[in-house]
């Protein structure tokens, strides 16, 4: 009689839960070890509580890492169609929104966690919560996993799915890196991604909460590193909004390398520079006796007006519109179209949605997610050096890498 394989999944997030289901479906006995009091807390926070399951426009160009091509095989082995079939079988009806984003029809992340947990129960997977893993040792028989409360759990295979360092309040504090390093793996430096940016600007408190639809670019010297568009939000520390989160990985990597970078804002992306000039000239000529700051009412958010004028070098905000010089008009248009602000840092790990960097994927098998250094050890999710843009890409990586790791952990013959 063939002995049933016992798979220990360390981490009860999106990747860990998927890995546990895949392993159990393939005949393994599965135990999830989760350090928090319940599994799946980070799933509940995804997609602003709606859970952005995946994206119909899945492509490697939306992913990052030192060896990003590693992700391609895994993403194809358990692709978007298989992911949607997986969730449909569990009971999740889904819909596609702007940009190819896929959400559950219920608009509730809790429904995704509910059906995952129901499937785990049906498969008799043991959820062991408040189980903080401190050591993972390979033995002749398999693996010995030590917990903070001195319990020891033995298993045949281990899947590390602990997450990275982003959102530590939801369960991922980077302890998985220590476990992997103790087993001989190497870490690519980690830094926050999909996170708000801090700016060097004196006016931030005055414009806190102001939003506009525009474009934002990260520039280093004369080079534009990346550009994104959408709703941009000023905060008391800097800047946020979906375009900023998309740019944040590029910004954070440059800052990590001690590069000087700026963000350039275009508040009127629908207008060419000359069109913006003509718009402003006509506007100022309409009622030349109007005070300049009042002349922008209806064009800019009221709280932005004095800030924009001062950034353009206009000293007298009360001067009449008809007395604004051509040079001042050019300066104002430059702020409209190319508002350059220094980026000093990102917000903390607590505010980050994902982790850039992680365990070096050159030490992991690209077909099975098994360690090349420790047979029987598998990886899944954010722990490894693969991260995606906003829009469901990180969750797809979690589902794909988790399912493949779980499947192989249950079926592979150990060397």
Q: Which pLDDT belongs to residue 368?
A: 98
Residue 410: how many other CB atoms lie within 10 Å: 22
Contact 7, 406 (CB under 8 A): yes
For residues 406 and 378, what is the distance between their CA atoms, to the nearest angstrom?
8
Q: Which pLDDT belongs to residue 413?
A: 65
**Cα 122-124-128 angle, rounded to 5 deg:** 125
Classify 107 in phi/psi space as left (phi over 0), alpha (psi -120 to 50) or beta: left
Q: What is the DSSP letter of 289?
A: T
For residues 62 and 65, what is the distance between their CA atoms, to the nearest angstrom?
11
Helices and strands (DSSP H and E) totals, the chain: 12, 21
- Closest by CA position to 237, among listed 286, 200, 273: 200
Contacting residues for 165 by C-beta, under 8 A, at least 6 apart: 172, 173, 174, 190, 192, 349, 352, 355
Q: Which pLDDT belongs to residue 171?
A: 85
For residues 130 and 117, what is the distance between their CA atoms, to the nearest angstrom?
17
Write out the H or E segment, with its range, that includes residue 29. strand 29-33
Classify 35 in phi/psi space as left (phi over 0), alpha (psi -120 to 50) or beta: alpha
For residues 199 and 209, what is the distance between their CA atoms, to the nearest angstrom?
15
Beta strands per DSSP E along 139-196: 143-147, 152-155, 157-160, 187-193
- Give me 178's structure tokens: 């220590």
- Closest by CA position to 113, among listed 23, 24, 18: 18
Q: What is the DSSP letter of 156?
A: S
Residue 4 half-sphere exposure toward CB, CA atoms < 13 A:
11
Contact 268, 214 (CB under 8 A): yes
Helices (H), 287-364: 304-311, 326-337
- Give me 351's structure tokens: 């505010």
For residues 61 and 246, what is the distance between their CA atoms, to the nearest angstrom?
13
Residue at token pair 């839960």? 17
For the entire predicted model, the pTM comes to: 0.94
Domains of the chain as residue ranges with CATH: 6-190+356-411 (3.50.50.60), 196-346 (no CATH)
Q: Which pLDDT belongs to residue 3?
A: 83
Q: What average pLDDT values come out for the chain (415 residues) when binned by 10 residues?
A: 88 98 98 96 94 98 98 98 98 97 98 98 98 96 96 97 95 94 98 97 97 98 96 98 97 96 98 96 93 95 97 96 95 98 97 97 98 98 98 98 98 66
Q: Which pLDDT belongs to residue 415?
A: 42
- Closest by CA position to 235, among listed 202, 205, 271, 260: 205
Q: Which pLDDT belongs to residue 412?
A: 80
Which 3 state secondary structure label does DSSP give 163?
coil
Contacting residues for 107 by C-beta, under 8 A, at least 6 apart: 50
Residue 390 phi/psi, 5-degree rounding, is: -60, 155
Residue 220: exposure state from Cβ atoms within 10 A (0-12, 13-18, ≥19): middle
């Amino acid at each position: 009689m063939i002995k049933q394989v016992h798979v220990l999944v360390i981490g009860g997030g999106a990747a860990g839960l998927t890995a546990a289901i895949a392993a159990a479906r393939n005949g393994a006995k599965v135990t999830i070890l989760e350090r928090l009091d319940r599994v799946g807390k980070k799933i509940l926070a995804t997609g602003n509580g709606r859970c952005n399951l995946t994206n119909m426009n899945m492509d490697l160009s939306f992913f990052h890492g030192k060896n990003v091509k590693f992700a391609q095989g895994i993403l194809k082995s358990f692709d978007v169609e298989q992911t949607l079939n997986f969730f449909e079988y569990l009971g999740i009806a889904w819909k596609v929104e702007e940009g190819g984003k896929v959400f559950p029809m219920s608009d509730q992340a809790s429904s995704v966690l509910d059906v995952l947990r129901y499937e785990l129960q049906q498969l008799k997977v043991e959820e062991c919560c408040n189980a903080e893993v401190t050591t993972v040792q390979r033995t002749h028989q398999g693996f010995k996993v030590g917990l903070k409360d001195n319990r020891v759990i033995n298993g045949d295979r281990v899947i590390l799915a602990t997450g990275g360092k982003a959102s530590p309040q939801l369960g991922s504090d980077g302890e998985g890196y220590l476990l992997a390093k103790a087993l001989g793996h190497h870490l690519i430096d980690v830094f926050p991604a999909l996170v708000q940016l801090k700016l060097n600007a004196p006016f931030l408190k005055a414009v806190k909460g102001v939003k506009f639809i525009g474009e934002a670019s990260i520039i280093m010297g004369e080079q534009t590193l990346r550009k994104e568009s959408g709703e941009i939000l000023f905060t008391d520390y800097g800047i946020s909004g979906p375009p900023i989160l998309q740019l944040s990985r590029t910004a954070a990597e440059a800052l990590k390398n001690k590069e000087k970078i700026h963000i350039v804002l275009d508040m009127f992306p629908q207008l060419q520079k000359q069109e913006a000039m003509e718009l402003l000239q006509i506007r100022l000529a309409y009622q030349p006796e109007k005070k300049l700051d009042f002349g922008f009412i209806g064009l800019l958010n009221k709280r932005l007006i004095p800030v924009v004028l001062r950034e353009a070098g206009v000293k007298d905000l009360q001067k009449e519109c008809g007395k604004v010089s051509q040079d001042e008009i050019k300066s104002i248009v430059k702020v409209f179209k190319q508002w350059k602000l220094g980026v000093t840092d990102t917000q903390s790990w607590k505010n980050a949605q994902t982790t850039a960097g992680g365990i070096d994927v050159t030490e992991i098998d690209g077909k099975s997610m098994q360690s090349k250094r420790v047979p029987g050890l598998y990886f899944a999710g954010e722990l490894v050096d693969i991260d995606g843009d906003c829009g469901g890409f990180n969750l797809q990586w979690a589902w794909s890498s988790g399912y493949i790791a779980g499947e192989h952990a249950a079926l592979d013959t150990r060397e």
